Chains A and B, each alone.
Chain A
Amino acid sequence: MSSSAALDNLIDALCCLPGIGRKSAQRMALYLIDKNRQGAQAIAQNISAALDKVGHCERCRNFSDAAHCQICENAKRQDGLLCVVETPADVMAIEASGSFQGKYFVLLGKLSPIDGIGPDDLGFDLLQQRLESEQIDEIILATNPTVEGDITAQYIADLAARYQIKTSRIAHGVPLGGELEYVDSGTLARALNARQLFS
């Protein structure tokens, strides 16, 4: 409880951030209000703008301001190479490695049988439409190397096989069980280059 109700509310709100406890939230709030009001203004505006504008790309399901995201619209990137990942954070990790010039498909999850997360939740229909209507030469399955990620990859590989599309699995170098988001970019770049044909 501070001297200001508005400040208390700000602290409460900051607590929703992952890894931020009450003490850190307090420090952040005091810094923004006391030391950096301009920065605080920028955060407030950007959060509000992002909430307003950011939706999902109709082609790849990644976050996007428009119907199609900047990566999908980028003519310099290869259309024939499609990398399937679980989360937008995985796209960021691969982009940071600078080793991939194709396009993405973001599942926004993985098959989780016991949680009832199935193909409908992961946009398999949309993916299938794209495999059907686009000229895709290769799919790189970059789901996480967990049991659920492997099963997801297997089903997408089966799907791709129906359209005679080559699939490969990001491999070797990504420590088994290590999630892409937490793998350093050098390792990730090597893993992408050393991908193996999926059987």
Chain B
Amino acid sequence: MQNRVNDQPAFILHRRDFQESSLILELFTIDFGRISVLVKGARKRRDAAYFQTGHRLQLGWGGRSALKILTQIDCRPLQIPLKLYSCVFYVNELLLYLLPREQEQRDLFHRYQHLLLELAQHQADDSLEAVLRSFEMDLLQQLGLMPDLTMEHYSEQSVQAVLHYTFDMLTGLRRCEDGSEAGFGGGELLSIQQRRFDTTAVLKAAKRLMRKIIDYNLQGRTLQSRKLFQQLNKKP
């Protein structure tokens, strides 16, 4: 990586306080993927409000080590409703775990930006699940972790809408008797593949399937944000 970078589109995935008034930012940048930068005195600065997750930033930094030093920041704020930040944190945590460091991920960056814009413009609750599932698929696809949902893994036969399948990370899709609770309808799988989340049945199946694939790729780590928001929403 070159020594100095300017005007790099970026989003903050995570911020943590460092020493008295500084911050360490975990960033998703357009050309360098995931990187970490140190912002000295960030919490005292006039532009402290920029250093928040969910804003479109243009950043500059220097330094050769894994932790860069921030040199420039411009911000185009996004107004994401507070209630929707559970989605932002969830997606950010996924990216923190799954994105490789300092590797360009342009397409995924654009999808992420698109997701935040959708959240900022979001009105009612209904389509959020579809938006999230769609982004999860983008993420897994870009990282080469998304299985093909149109074909059985071993037999290489096309998935058929009227049949039923089980899914396992090691054996992939396999035909099974219908009525199996852990299974998926062929029609659901094909809808998911085409991202047609029109019915609650497809959305439910998609959630179950994506959860399976994501959990496998998290390699035993638990998503803190998922746990926390479940806990917060459960309280009487």
Contacts and interface: CB of A to CB of B under 8 A. Distances in A.
Contacts of A179: 43-44, 48
B125 interface: no
B228 A116 contact: yes
B109 interface: no
Contacts of A175: 46, 48-49
B86 interface: yes
Given A176-B49, A177-B48, A114 B235 contact: no
Task: Report which residue of A111, A177, A178 has the largest number of chain B beta carbons within 10 angstroms of its beta carbon.
Answer: A177
B54 A113 contact: no
B76 interface: no
A111 B228 contact: yes
A182 interface: yes
Interface in B10-50: 14, 16, 19-21, 43-44, 46-50
Given A19-B19, A175-B46, A182-B21, A113 B224 contact: yes
B85 interface: yes
A111 B86 CA distance: 11
B85 A151 contact: yes
Interface stretch (B89-97, B158-166, B189-197, B203-211): B89-97
A134 interface: no
A34 interface: no
Interface stretch (A24-32, A52-60, A98-106, A142-150): A142-150
A147 B49 CA distance: 9
A181 to B, nearest CB: 8
Interface string A108-127: 00010111111100000000
B225 interface: yes
A115 B224 CA distance: 7
A154 interface: yes
Given A114-B14, A114-B224, A19 B49 contact: no
Contact of B227 (A116, A150, A182): A116
Contact of B93 (A111, A114, A146): A114
Given A18-B19, A19-B19, A155-B232, A113 B89 contact: yes
B184 to A, nearest CB: 30
B228 A118 contact: yes
A21 to B, nearest CB: 12
Nearest to B89: A113
A178 B21 CA distance: 11
B216 interface: no
B51 interface: yes
B49 to A, nearest CB: 3
B115 to A, nearest CB: 16
A114 B232 contact: no
Interface string B213-235: 00000000000110111011001
Interface string A23-61: 000000000000000000000000000000000000000
A154 B82 contact: yes
B52 interface: yes
Nearest to A128: B235
Contact of B43 (A111, A114, A182): A182
Nearest to B226: A113
A92 to B, nearest CB: 15
A179 to B, nearest CB: 5
A19 B227 CA distance: 36
B232 A177 contact: no
B48 A113 contact: no
Interface of A: 18-19, 111, 113-119, 145-147, 150-151, 154-155, 175-179, 182
16 contacts: A18-B19, A113-B86, A113-B93, A113-B225, A115-B224, A116-B227, A118-B231, A119-B231, A119-B232, A145-B49, A155-B232, A177-B48, A177-B52, A178-B43, A182-B21, A182-B43
The 4 A-B residue pairs whose C-beta atoms are closest, nearest first, are: A177-B49, A116-B224, A177-B48, A113-B225
